Structure 1
């Protein structure tokens, strides 16, 4: 959520900034803007809505001479999503863009207003540029004024600021929100809140740490910590932009559903050996003396954690709890001796999860991150990390990231359970793991059937997704997917809980998506669905077995292992949500109000 780009060089700054912002669209946004400075002065453009509106506003503008520029896509936190609240924000002679939340902005705003400063927007960000200009008037030293400014800020931020008082520099600062600096062979400097904005432009990059700030100018990066300049570690950025192409699919989400088979194979490379699991990232001592596991995550990753809890207790026989990250940090949690604290995040920048991890780091717990993005904040903070290797996921609604999280967690449960499981059970799981890439291949016949039956599910007053055992968290995930991209109300429930209240809502306009695996509590599920059918619920059963009471059947394969059914049903739920949302005419990849990377509370 929110994206930042910056550039110093002789290139066409407008196009470089807009190109970077396009690569950050997947994060979710409601407005966008750019500000550029060259010999002719400062130029700025802002627009509410899609980036195409900003592109239209800048169509006649060119900026090919040497200069600097900053850009931003905003996801509203303070103030309505309109052009006034869009970034960059303007002072008298400076512009700023900012990701994060300035927690003490009201106090700072009040101080400045008493000194006669006027504010245009409702945002917390605008206080930064006015505070900078206030200090610059006192010290007549722009960099000193910037240091004073960030010294007054409380909260999370990634900041870029340009000013006529220092026309060749971009000032930057990072605290709790990602920021990356890069250079190319022509000594151009690029800045982004994600390396996606730098791919194909920068050759080497440095990932800033919290508390680092400084300035960039032509061919040079100056990075400081507590007033002392440091030499940043530069690493190659070798990826290209081909990943961003849809390759013939209607939406990135559809492409990513189809990619799951191959990325799951990648996630197993070097880890799934002939007869056992091997993680080179984890030493035997790291997993020793673990008496409890706490999972902590948000959203889809939280559902992966709930699913994993079944696996760890069942396979590794270790006590397990699951925490919602946004609640964990405020409950004054007790973390017992011998805890392994596992955080799960697609982006590695999820603010609530990162703060929960920092809290765990202050205890005696060992910390482990399950993450898709190397060099992200969560990866750098945790004691060790298992990367999911899903590749960049452009669709806001997570698909292949969830799939790879589940696979890595299953393998980790097996690694921890190899001493407690029987040799037969362990071997059965290893064989099942090898079948997962095949289980997640999308069948043309199944996809076409889902496309046809999806037209039944465009109205009504809501959905229940139900399942038992590990399929209950999968039902939660199915309901979340549908909510995210169709905007239809959906809830996930354990099948056995329907009669404890929710069944009061059931009628023919209440759609029930039933997960009925043959390997896990099939007869129990069948009885629960029969109760719903008797009350005229419209039933879509996902199962390998014929079921006469279903209004619609989506058949899955017969298999001997529950996890093979789990992953196949996962794909079916993703496709069902996709096709319903497409029929409703929604923007599947960029659903309203949502962001890919939630970097604020």
Structure 2
């Protein structure tokens, strides 16, 4: 979940590294560092906290001429977020940066200490550079020592290493964590753990596969697989514009991403909606042959999209559907049957727990599908089939447009299942397609709504907690609303089924318990209203979100009148995103980079 950059070339190495790290800071911001090897001499800098602290430290450092540089922005796994634990990590004459977790690091560390290695940090990463130098001192040539180092590592890793033994070279390896190599017309070499770090710097990239390793030098790229067999690099093209990754005048990327949901949902739907059919050209019709169950698996926000869509798969697709939290499925010894389509959902396509469940399902012989935002990501390459959400770069750690586009894709896919299995009549399918066409307009943010929420938010800065409640598909949306608030405001919040409040949680009801009630007119309104009245009678503070005025609400956020609950779902989603954001802003929090979190969770 950390961010890695690298550069080999003759231009301003420091500036290139720092610029790349800026694009990756959403992946981790506990600390950051760079190391530059130029004229056989290292310069290195580390700083705790956000990248601005590293920029201040390097203000007087300049680079010119050919150099090898690596950089890293960290989300702490092993060891506290201190300068000593920050990457790059140092050996006698080498530096390394690493994303992932080395599972056997303690075993390796003990062996290296017995040989006389001196460790400075608490991290697992430091074993890599000491193991490399131990093998180097044992007589191996630099790349042979690197290859042998990688072969002894267990776990997930993306690694860049530079050494004085080969001063115009960067070694790299990838297994389980993303790594991209890029080149430009000047034959400069670039590395990044995400496309974002490379946009504008190069046009051709290699998305490394698990087990691949090699090195770049002045003369080219050497790439091989885990068995030391040479691999011919396969280049893909990279977009040239960074415009979509900029704030464009909004206060935060999260705000920008909430506002652009209308546009990106149009992109999600385009080419996939005929008048009377759902079109997924990327799917082979045989994908659903012999399938009697769908198992959805994800983490965090993507899990909430999975849970919400499970209602649609059973209601519209008429297919048995189960939902799993990826980190739980991995260890529950699940019964995976080959008549099940295993669907994983991830914004990044790199989420470690979800990726491992995908591999489990494939090993068990299941057909697999990924719903993902990032082409060429690990999950997209691993799964039998993929549907891209087309959300574009999402830089806010708290996911917004990724959730919206996941929901749209999963809604479409539930209809695709229904039409493929002939479990939906033509008129119902046409009506559902018509509703999907309305979604981009429904999620458009209107100034009066946003201003109402902004003013209302000042009432919800204190108290002892929030309950977000809803029924049916609005229960997963309540979970997502609570997660958004927790992530960026640091206030305690829970999502709960409305009908379950009286089975225990209502004991907490008092004026300092804030209840955000999702009350769609078109789905179990009277049942939900009755549950909210039970809370109101016990003096809980009620904020109702509905297109029907609720006289017992302390606060009321009106949404537009719709004739179907799915349109209410998407508009309510926007209200919850804005409410969480405005509360967090009033509390003075960094909305885009909430504490303790990172965007792409590539560790367990």
Say yes or no: TM over 0.5. Answer: yes
Alignment-derived partner of residue 163 in structure 1: 163
* Residue 438 (structure 1) shift: 0.8
Residues 240-389 of structure 1 mapped to structure 2, 5 A cutoff: 240-389=241-390
Correspondence for 1:572: 575
**CA deviation vs aligned residue, 1:149-194 (integer Å, no higher than 9, x gap):** 1111100000000011111111111011000001000010001111
In 1, are the aligned partners of 2:32 and 2:48 still within 8 Å (CA)? yes
| 457, 462, 473: which one aligns with 1:470 | 473
Distance, in Å, in 1 between the alignment partners of 2:597 and 2:224 is 34
Q: Per-residue displacement from partner, 1:337-370 (whole Å, max 9, x unpaired)?
A: 3100000000000000000000000122110000
TM-score after normalising by structure 2: 0.99
Between the aligned partners of 2:399 and 2:505, the Cα distance in structure 1 is: 27
Structure-2 separation of matches of 1:426 and 1:570? 24
- Further displaced range: 145-154 or 475-484: 145-154
Counterpart in the other structure of 2:402:
401
1:594 paired to 2:602: no
**Structure 2 residue 480 is the aligned partner of structure 1 residue 445:** no
Q: 2:83 aligned with 1:80, yes or no? A: no
Q: Is the 8 A contact 2:8 2:190 kept in 1?
A: yes
Counterparts of 2:408 and 2:239, CA distance in 1: 27
Aligned partner of 1:491 in structure 2 is 494
1:32 lines up with 2:35 in the alignment: no
Instruction: Report the Cα distance in structure 2 between the residues aligned to 1:132 and 1:364, rounded to whole angstroms.
Output: 38
Give, in whole Å, the separation in 1 of the partners of 2:562 and 2:67: 62
**How far, CA to CA, are the matches of 2:264 and 2:399 in structure 1?**
14
Unaligned runs of 5+ in 2: none
User: Could you give the per-residue CA deviations for residues 279-325 of structure 1, whole angstroms, max 9, x where no partner exists?
Assistant: 00112221222100000000000000000100000001110100000
Asked whether the equivalents of residues 162 and 171 of structure 2 are also in contact (C-alpha less than 8 Å), the reply is: yes
Cα pair 1:457 1:580 within 8 Å, conserved = yes
For the residues of structure 2 that align with 1:525 and 1:134, how far apart are their CA atoms?
66
Q: What is the aligned partner in structure 2 of residue 203 from structure 1?
A: 203
SS of equivalent to 2:230: strand
Query: How far apart, in 1, do the equivalents of 2:463 and 2:218 lie?
Result: 59
1:583 maps onto 2:586 in alignment:
yes
Shift of 1:238: 2.3
Q: 1:448-459, aligned counterparts within 5 Å?
A: 448-459=451-462
SS of the equivalent of 2:76 reads coil
Higher deviation after alignment, 52-61 or 231-240: 231-240
- Cα-to-partner distance string for 1:80-104 (whole Å, 9 max, x where unaligned): 0010000000011100000000000
Deviation at 1:140, TM superposition (A): 4.2
Q: Secondary structure at the match of 1:167?
A: strand
1:113-134: per-residue Cα shift (whole Å, max 9, x none)?
1111111000000000000000
Moved more, 27-36 or 522-531: 27-36
Q: RMSD across aligned C-alpha pairs, in angstroms?
A: 0.8
Task: Say whether the 8 Å CA contact 2:326–2:357 is kept in structure 1.
Answer: yes
Pairing 1:135-154 to 2, within 5 Å after superposition? 135-154=135-154
**Residue 40 of structure 1: CA displacement?**
5.6
CA distance in 2, matches of 1:98, 1:546: 54
The 1-side partners of 2:26 and 2:377 are apart by 17
Give the whole-Å Cα distance in 2 for the aligned partners of 1:428 and 1:558. 17
**What's the counterpart of residue 50 of structure 1?**
50
Structure 1's consecutive aligned runs of 4 or more residues displaced over 3 angstroms after TM superposition are none
Could you tell me how far 1:244 is from its partner in structure 2?
2.1
Instruction: Spell out, residue by residue over 1:22-74, the C-alpha distance to the aligned partner (whole angstroms, 9 max, x if none).
Output: 00012232000000011161110000001011011111111111110000001
SS at match of 1:135: helix
**What does 1:168-247 align with in structure 2 at a 5 Å threshold?**
168-225=168-225, 226-247=227-248
Match runs of 1:37-116 below 5 Å = 37-39=37-39, 41-116=41-116
Q: Return the alpha-carbon distance in structure 2 between the equivalents of residues 367 and 40 of structure 1.
A: 49
Q: Distance in 1 between matches of 2:4 and 2:28?
A: 12
Instruction: Assess if the C-alpha contact under 8 Å between 2:469 and 2:478 holds in 1.
Output: yes
Q: State which drifts further: 384-393 or 285-294.
A: 285-294
What does residue 521 of structure 1 align with? 524
- 1:338–1:364 CA contact under 8 A, matched in 2: no
Cα distance in 2, alignment partners of residues 334 and 71 from structure 1: 43
Find the aligned partners of 2:345 and 2:235 in 1 and give their Cα distance. 27
Structure 1 residue 242 displacement after superposition: 1.2
Counterparts of 1:465 and 1:55 in 2: how far apart (Å)?
Answer: 41
Q: Give the count of matched residue pairs.
A: 601
Q: Distance in 2 between matches of 1:135 and 1:58?
A: 32
Preserved CA contact (<8 Å) 2:40 2:164: no
Q: SS of 1:230's equivalent?
A: coil
Q: Distance in 2 between matches of 1:259 and 1:371?
A: 18
SS of the residue corresponding to residue 4 of structure 1 reads strand
Instruction: Give the match for residue 505 of structure 2.
Output: 502
What is the CA–CA distance in structure 1 between the aligned matches of 2:257 and 2:423, rounded to whole Å?
36
DSSP 3-state at the match of 2:161: strand
Contact persistence 2:203–2:240 (CA under 8 A): no
**Residue 141 of structure 2 corresponds to residue 131 of structure 1:** no
Aligned to 1:548: 551
Q: Conserved in 1, the CA contact under 8 Å of 2:389 and 2:409?
A: yes
1:186 and 1:199 mapped to 2: Cα distance? 16
- What is the aligned partner in structure 1 of residue 411 from structure 2? 410
Check the 8 A contact 1:31/1:47 in 2, yes or no.
yes
